[in-house]
Amino acid sequence: MLKIYHNPRCSKSRETLQIIQDSNTDVEIVEYLNDIPTAKELKSILNKLGLQASQIIRKGEPVFKEQFKGKTLSNDQWIDAMIQYPKLMERPIVIKGDQAVLGRPPQNVIDLI
């Protein structure tokens, strides 16, 4: 089973979810703007992605530009920022077991199916 951290208003997230559904793969959908991941969950996601928190920050978001642009934060501080402002988290993220991919481009999810 796959798990997708999904924003239904995001075209890339919708495209990624459609690829998963078209493959008839079971998927758990987490709308992370409503069901915000905990710090522990975010650390697990980052570990599976093999990335630092700063690498999944959406730098085009207004909240980034207003609150964080030009600042150097630790990994834990970025995680706290994503919990406080979940829109900062890059989307979608798809997880299967101990592997994860960013759905940018959406075709990245094929590696997990």
Cα–Cα distance for residue pair 113/96, rounded to 1 Å: 8
Given a contact cutoff of 8 angstroms between Cβ atoms, the answer to whether 31 and 6 are in contact is: yes
Q: Find the catalytic residue in 2, 3, 10, 44.
A: 10
1 carries an active-site annotation: no
**How many secondary structure helices (H) and strands (E) does the chain include?**
4, 4
Which are the catalytic amino acids?
10
